[in-house]
Structures are given as structure tokens and as C-alpha cells.
């Protein structure tokens, strides 16, 4: 992989994190629609085009029945009805990947030769096949698959130079927008092995954001009809206001890691509402305590005493909340290793894992045409163009 352009697409339940890497250790996150992440929602236009990102969210206002907000949650269903047509879930995921890949190539100013897809450690062969099929169905190079916690661990030991000798164990604490996963890994001469894993499909940073919005509604004119417009937008103006509110809430959540109190602007009401760290932690604590309890259970299942851990690695965007570190340290007696951009850990780690000695390189899932290929004429927006005449061939990565 050294000297080769590659892109990692960390496909989440709400957003995708995309990182592109090239020769001479050049690595950069890819931005979308003015932000650091790509919304994974997919909208099916009347002509069959699958639209993603902010355009998909705008389309959902006109025809909510044509919008799927989280294809990853539907991966076991095979097909999804959008409007009056059924679409294979792999094709919906592929539409998002096509946009991610296209923008990565644009940033790299060349056709990226290799695709890396991190996946939840608990996914079986069928789900991994669906993920790989999603990429190849829209013309991406055959992907290499990497378990998310192993990718994260390699980011810490590779980029962050955290020492984990063979035989020692680490806990990867992955708190995303919509889900949580805790995994105990043991370092081996060949890479990492999974000792135990567990998670919560109904807990994530989005739940904390929703708790903040509910709190603000209680504090600021709770009976005002504008709240209905903010929580259930039906026009482009209301959608813009709702997006501004949720963006403001997420920003406030991040700023509270450095400040004792912040102000959140509530659109349509024209009010700046104060939010203190104490109030925020009261809302977040019950949610975060559930994740800490799962972490303890996973350590028990792995039969690894917390004192024997070589590291506790919080990853994904919601793990940067200071209360996460406090609760983990208090429960385990081990200080977590905090990093500046935990939301990039999985994507960055999946890029460097293959180049590190002893990296675990799981074989890519078999790539076969899905049972529900896209209807004739259906094409995802921003699908990668056909390979240019002089472009390097796209080859699947072999695995030992």
C-alpha cells in the first residue's frame, strides 16, 4: 500500500467519515457540504437518481417517503421501499460511497486506487458482503475490510505511538452518533485478536443532542409553536432553522469541554439560551453510564481485570465529552488516552493498519452482484466516472 492512493470510508449510522491518503504519508480528511462529515441519508428522486448529503435532506422535505435516513440500520432487510420503487440496501449504501469516493478523488486530484471500509466487529459474513458489494456495485475498486476497533487500536499505536507489547490488552470505547461499541483486544505478534465485544444499538451522541434540545424547550417558551417547526420541519426555511439549532447544540456540546457555560441560539424564537456544564452533564450522565456499564461487562467477559489494561482508547466524535473520560477513569481505575480528533481514529487507523508490521488484515468479503441490483437507469448522484484510459487499474487487495 506504500505509495498508493487510498481512501477510507467510515460509514456510520448518521454520518460517514472519509479520509484520503497518498504517497509520502500525505493524509487528509475529506469535507462535504461545508462540514467534516457526509450525511448518509439517501433520497430517491422521481427519475430514479439516488441523492445523498444535504441535497437528500432537502428532498426529504418534499417527499419524506422517498428518503432513508440510515441505510446502515437497514442492512439486514435486503430491500427498502422509497416512493414506489424498491432499492437494494447495498445500492443505497453505494450511493453514499460513490459521493465519498468522488470527493476523495477530487481532493487527491487523481483516481484513488484502493478503498478501505471499516466495519463493526460484530458483523457477520453476510453484512460484510453487503458492505463490499455496495462499493463495487457503483464502480469503486474492490475494497479491503478492516474491523473498526482494530483500526482504532492501530491509530493509537501507530500514529500516537502508544506502546502495547504483545500479550497486553486494550479497551476500545467507540461512542458514535447512533450506536456504542466496546471491544477488548489483545496484542499479538501478528496484530490484534478480539477477546470480547458488546454494544448498544440505541445509544449515541444523537441521544445527548436530543436531550439538550428537550432541555432548551423546557427552558425557552415551551408552548411556542416554533418548537414544532424546529423539531418537525416542513419547509426549506424550517429545515434550515432546524439544522442551525442542531448544529448549535453540537457546537455547544464541544465548547462545554473547555468552558463552564455556553449560549445556544434558538432559531425562529430569536433567543440565546444559556447552558452550563453542570446541566449538560446531568443530561448526559444517564446515557454515558450505560456505555460504561457495557464496557465493564465486556472486560468481565474477556476475563481481563481493568488494572491489566495497557490502554483505554475512546474513539468517535461523542467520546470527546469530558464526562466520558471521568466516568471511565472512575469505573476502571485507568486513565483513558484522549486524542484531539477521536472521530477520525477509525478511518485513519484503517489506512495505516496494513502498512504496520503485524497488522491484522482480514480478507475482503466476496464481491458478488447483489440480488437486488438497481433498477434500469438508476444511478447514484456523483457516481465515480468510468476509469480514464490512462488511469492505473483498480485491483482488489489480496489478503493472506
| Structural domains present in the chain | 6-143 (3.30.420.40), 165-203+286-340 (3.30.420.40), 206-281 (3.90.640.10)
Q: Which residue has the higher pLDDT, 356 or 75?
A: 75
* Whether residue 56 has pLDDT greater than 60: yes
pLDDT tens digits along 249-288? 999 998 998 899 999 999 999 999 999 999 999 999 999 9
Query: Ramachandran region of residue 242, left (φ > 0), alpha (ψ -120 to 50) or beta?
Result: alpha
User: What pLDDT was estimated at residue 149?
Assistant: 96
Confidence of residue 373 (pLDDT cuts 50, 70, 90): very low
Q: How far apart are CA 318 and CA 254, in angstroms?
A: 9
Q: In the predicted model, what is the mean pLDDT of the chain? A: 86
User: What pLDDT was estimated at residue 34?
Assistant: 84
Confidence of residue 362 (pLDDT cuts 50, 70, 90): very low
Please give the helix or strand (H or E) that residue 130 lies within, else none: helix 125-137
User: What pLDDT was estimated at residue 236?
Assistant: 79
Q: Which residue has the higher pLDDT, 340 or 161?
A: 340
Considering 20-24, 188-192, 214-218, the range whose residues carry the highest mean pLDDT is 214-218
* Whether residue 397 has pLDDT greater than 60: no
Confidence of residue 390 (pLDDT cuts 50, 70, 90): very low
**pLDDT exceeding 90 applies to what percent of the chain?**
70
Q: Which three three-digit cell numbers place residue 157?
A: 499505536
Confidence of residue 239 (pLDDT cuts 50, 70, 90): confident
In this structure, is the dihedral angle defined by the CA atoms of residues 236, 75, 13 and 340, taken in order, positive or negative? negative
User: What pLDDT was estimated at residue 386?
Assistant: 36
Check if the beta carbon of residue 295 is closer than 8 Å to that of residue 140.
no
User: What pLDDT was estimated at residue 400?
Assistant: 27
Q: How far apart are CA 79 and CA 152, in angstroms?
A: 31
Q: Which of 333, 318, 241, 337 is nearest to 280 (CA)?
A: 318
pLDDT tens digits along 19-29? 999 987 789 99
User: What pLDDT was estimated at residue 257?
Assistant: 83
User: What pLDDT was estimated at residue 25?
Assistant: 78
* Mean pLDDT of the 36-40 span: 93
**pLDDT exceeding 70 applies to what percent of the chain?**
88
* Whether residue 360 has pLDDT greater than 80: no
Q: Which residue has the higher pLDDT, 60 or 25?
A: 60
Give helix 125-137 / helix 89-108 axis angle, nearest 10°.
50
Confidence of residue 383 (pLDDT cuts 50, 70, 90): low
Over the range 218-242, which residues count as b (16 or more CB within 10 Å of their CB) and which as e? eebeeeeebbebbeebeeeebbebb
Alpha helices in 220-276 (DSSP H): 226-231, 236-255
* Mean pLDDT of the 176-192 span: 92
Amino acid at each position: 500500500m506504500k505509495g498508493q492512493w487510498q481512501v477510507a470510508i467510515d460509514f456510520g449510522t448518521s454520518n460517514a467519515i472519509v479520509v484520503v491518503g497518498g504517497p509520502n504519508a500525505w493524509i487528509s480528511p475529506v469535507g462535504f457540504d461545508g462540514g467534516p462529515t457526509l450525511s448518509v441519508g439517501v433520497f430517491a428522486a422521481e427519475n430514479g437518481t439516488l441523492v445523498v448529503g444535504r441535497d437528500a435532506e432537502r428532498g426529504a422535505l418534499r417527499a419524506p417517503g422517498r428518503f432513508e435516513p440510515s441505510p446502515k440500520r437497514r442492512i439486514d432487510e435486503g430491500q427498502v421501499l422509497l416512493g414506489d420503487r424498491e432499492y437494494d440496501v447495498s445500492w443505497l449504501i453505494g450511493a453514499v460511497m460513490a459521493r465519498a469516493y468522488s470527493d476523495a478523488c477530487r481532493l487527491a486530484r487523481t483516481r484513488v486506487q484502493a478503498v478501505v471500509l471499516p466495519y463493526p466487529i460484530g458483523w457477520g459474513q453476510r453484512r460484510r458482503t453487503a458492505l463490499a458489494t455496495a462499493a463495487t456495485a457503483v464502480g469503486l475498486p474492490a475494497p479491503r475490510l478492516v474491523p473498526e476497533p482494530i483500526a482504532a487500536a492501530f491509530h493509537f499505536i501507530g500514529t500516537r505511538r502508544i506502546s502495547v507489547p504483545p500479550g497486553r490488552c486494550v479497551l476500545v470505547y467507540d461512542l458514535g452518533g447512533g450506536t456504542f461499541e466496546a471491544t477488548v483486544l489483545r496484542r499479538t505478534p501478528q496484530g490484534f485478536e478480539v477477546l470480547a465485544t458488546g454494544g448498544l444499538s440505541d445509544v449515541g451522541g444523537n441521544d445527548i443532542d436530543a436531550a439538550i434540545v428537550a432541555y432548551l424547550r423546557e427552558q425557552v417558551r415551551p408552548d411556542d409553536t416554533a418548537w414544532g417547526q424546529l423539531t418537525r420541519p416542513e419547509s426549506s426555511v424550517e429545515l434550515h432553522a432546524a439544522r442551525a439549532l442542531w448544529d448549535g447544540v453540537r457546537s455547544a456540546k464541544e465548547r462545554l469541554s473547555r468552558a463552564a457555560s455556553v449560549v445556544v441560539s434558538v432559531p425562529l424564537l430569536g433567543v440565546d439560551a444559556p447552558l452550563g456544564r453542570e446541566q449538560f452533564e446531568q443530561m448526559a450522565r444517564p446515557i454515558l453510564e450505560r456505555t460504561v456499564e457495557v464496557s465493564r461487562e465486556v472486560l468481565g467477559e474477556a476475563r481481563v481485570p481493568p488494572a491489566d489494561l495497557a490502554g483505554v482508547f475512546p474513539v468517535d466524535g461523542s467520546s470527546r465529552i469530558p464526562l466520558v473520560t471521568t466516568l471511565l477513569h472512575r469505573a476502571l481505575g485507568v486513565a483513558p488516552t484522549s486524542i484531539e480528533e477521536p472521530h477520525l481514529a477509525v478511518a485513519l487507523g484503517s489506512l495505516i493498519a496494513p502498512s504496520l508490521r503485524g497488522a491484522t488484515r482480514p480478507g475482503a468479503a466476496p464481491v458478488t452482484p447483489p440480488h437486488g441490483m438497481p433498477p434500469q437507469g438508476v444511478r447514484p448522484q456523483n457516481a465515480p466516472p468510468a476509469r480514464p484510459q490512462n488511469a492505473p487499474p483498480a485491483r482488489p487487495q489480496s489478503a493472506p
